[in-house]
Chain A
């Protein structure tokens, strides 16, 4: 034994050399540890930069100028005028037809003072955006902005504004970024998601139950399983092309609502988009659902069989209730993917400019990510502000969904 030990020892560094060897190895270890840590931190930095860049565009100074000088309308300042005087100004300065349209939408008598005041500003004074600044500039370079405004647009009014307002959520699309909102896009997204869940949830859960509870280990079922795993890796734009050919073109009578008597011209409707999204999220839903069902202990099933329950009674009364929190979590995660998905919607043919609210499953529609894409692609800086605001709306929606998923998961893990 001693000879063997000596032999090994002779090949290894001794004394001072061993100390140096260990020290240098430890040093290398410390260096790499820092590298690994910084790689992990990169995610944090990227996320902060992303949020900073979005928020930076949502707030900031805006220099606006009225096309009409308020002083020419009345000798008193506008905000001191009564409602009747404001209506008179409206009547005098608008084209007859435009005023009549306004009256038809909501009679002047029914409108509040501030509504009429806003109308005067919007329709008569016609504010025009001259230049906008980001939050960072507004914060740190106020003096430079003031100087620039004073020299370039002496008439302009400089005000700090948030591009994301309550009005942004409730006004429809407009070609004027100051007045554009995401109402139609938001409603389109909600309609689409609702119908997607309606189709995807039962089919996804059904497939998961089949694969976990009924499918025996044979060639046919293995192919189904492999196929689902493969489908989860197909790029989303391919699903869009599938949807374009199958749902928009081949099933046009169905998706345009013609056989239900609600013809919308062609198949580029909410239903077509929802069905496409359904195909896209089904593989994720099935895989998540299978995991949730697999986590239900076998003893529960055996107890149920022991009491004489049939297979379906066991699944319906025991397996599903126990798997449900997990299934819900998986569904929410799949749905949040569907909400942010843009490419398939572009291919299926979501409209980019639409001002009327979607009124049913067979309506033409636009969606939040489509709107973001559209606004981001425009070169004018004002559109970057509203694109950023729409991104905030989308992210808040996704974060709240994910928060629900986390809550469900926590409840689930406590019970398990």
Chain B
């Protein structure tokens, strides 16, 4: 192992050819302790990420097992009430509001993000790009708690003004979802734009040569060619929305409610974890164990989405030479 690492293949060949002659000094590879130590440290750095993953799985798994000793899995996935005070642990209300806010967010983020990506990659002049892209980057860099503030202090009053004071709760899923959508636009647009820019120029030239308009080229040629990257962007966007915490913690409400009405307050999975662990939590309580069961559900969902994204990319990928 040491041989290969410290001196390349070529130098070894020299060493063997020199072996026959009498040599003034040895060119033979010497073990270099320092280099080995450094390489060991670098390997440790690389492997540390594995420990992180193992840590996540072990931590979420073991605490969840402690939870499922007291609450049956069947109750966990079928009960529509989450109320630790009266020993009701059904994840459905939390899951439903997570899905509702994420769906609202996707209705905003996916079309807008994709349209922005098409504009930036197919239409925009380089000057327009140099102005618009940094704006989207800044939007992506705004901390999520600031978006939470924006949802509560701006989006909620706007919704109240549109749909009527009485119909919209001060904490509601709609405003959290809408702002979450805005937050995710830059991510969708930048990933989709990468996918579109990767489509070879020759395809566009071919379409123009056949008399296609710019729109037809973009929609019928470039988009299908880059679809794998775009779908990957969409799936990653969903996983981001599912895992988003601060916006929903601030704006969506602090009570688990099983409701389909987006103007009602309902706590999401992430919001519940944040609220419960924010208080002075006793490590021995079932409340404490319950957030890990929710965390495990969340982790499995996002992991699944990421894996789906990778599989989709592989299935739809078209390779251009």
List A residues at the B interface (Cβ < 8 Å). Answer: 25-26, 28-29, 32-33, 35-37, 39-40, 42-44, 46-47, 49-50, 53-54, 57, 202-207, 209-211, 214-215, 221, 223-224, 227-228, 230-231, 233-242, 244-246, 249, 279, 282-283, 286, 305, 310-312, 336, 339-343, 346-347, 349, 352, 369, 372-373, 376-377, 384, 387-388, 391, 394-395, 398-399, 402
CA separation between A387 and B246, bound complex, in Å? 15
Q: Which residues of B contact A44 (CB under 8 A)?
A: 132, 135
Q: Is the CB of A388 within 8 A of B149?
A: yes
Partner of A53 from the list B143, B153, B213, B243 (CB cut-off 8 Å) is B153
Q: Is the CB of B35 within 8 A of A343?
A: no
Residues from 97 to 153 in B contacting A, C-beta threshold 8 Å: 111-113, 115-116, 118-120, 123-124, 132, 135-136, 138-139, 141-150, 152-153
Q: Is the CB of B46 within 8 A of A207?
A: yes
Q: Is the CB of B153 within 8 A of A237?
A: no
Residue of A nearest to B305 (CB): A233
CA separation between A211 and B47, bound complex, in Å? 10
Q: Is the CB of B119 within 8 A of A283?
A: no
Binds A, one of B159-167, B257-265, B291-299: B291-299
Q: Is the CB of A233 within 8 A of B274?
A: no
Residue of B nearest to A283 (CB): B49
Partner of B242 from the list A215, A235, A246, A349 (CB cut-off 8 Å) is A235
Q: Which residues of B contact A312 (CB under 8 A)?
A: 34-35, 38-39
B42 at the interface (CB under 8 A from A): yes
Q: Is the CB of B35 within 8 A of A311?
A: yes
* B227 CB, nearest partner CB in chain A, Å: 17
CA separation between A343 and B55, bound complex, in Å? 19
Count chain B residues whose beta carbon lies closer than 8 angstroms to a beta carbon of A: 87
Q: Is the CB of A342 within 8 A of B144?
A: yes
Chain B contact residues, majority secondary structure: helix
List B residues at the A interface (Cβ < 8 Å). Answer: 5-8, 32, 34-35, 38-39, 41-50, 52-53, 55-56, 59-60, 63, 111-113, 115-116, 118-120, 123-124, 132, 135-136, 138-139, 141-150, 152-154, 182, 185-186, 189, 213-216, 219, 236, 239-240, 242-246, 249-250, 270, 273-274, 277-278, 283, 291-292, 295, 298-299, 302-303, 306
CA separation between A121 and B43, bound complex, in Å? 62
Residue of A nearest to B42 (CB): A210
Q: Which residues of A contact B274 (CB under 8 A)?
A: 237, 343, 346-347
CA separation between A162 and B250, bound complex, in Å? 25
Chain A contact residues, majority secondary structure: helix
* A379 CB, nearest partner CB in chain B, Å: 9
Q: Which residues of A contact B136 (CB under 8 A)?
A: 40, 43
Q: Which residues of B contact A203 (CB under 8 A)?
A: 45, 48
Given contacts A241-B273, A241-B292, 16 further A-B contacts (CB under 8 A): A33-B119, A39-B111, A40-B119, A47-B139, A54-B149, A206-B42, A227-B49, A235-B270, A282-B49, A286-B49, A340-B143, A341-B143, A342-B145, A369-B145, A376-B153, A402-B138
Q: Is the CB of B245 within 8 A of A237?
A: yes
CA separation between A347 and B278, bound complex, in Å? 6
CA separation between A230 and B307, bound complex, in Å? 9
Residue of A nearest to B147 (CB): A50
Residue of A nearest to B270 (CB): A237
Partner of A224 from the list B32, B50, B219, B245 (CB cut-off 8 Å) is B50
Q: Which residues of A contact B38 (CB under 8 A)?
A: 312
Q: Which of A29, A221, A239, A369 has the most CB of B within 10 A?
A: A29
* A88 CB, nearest partner CB in chain B, Å: 45
Q: Is the CB of A215 within 8 A of B60?
A: no
Residue of B nearest to A279 (CB): B52
* B180 CB, nearest partner CB in chain A, Å: 12
Q: Is the CB of B214 within 8 A of A40?
A: no
* B160 CB, nearest partner CB in chain A, Å: 15
Q: Is the CB of A373 within 8 A of B55?
A: no
Q: Is the CB of A235 within 8 A of B185?
A: no
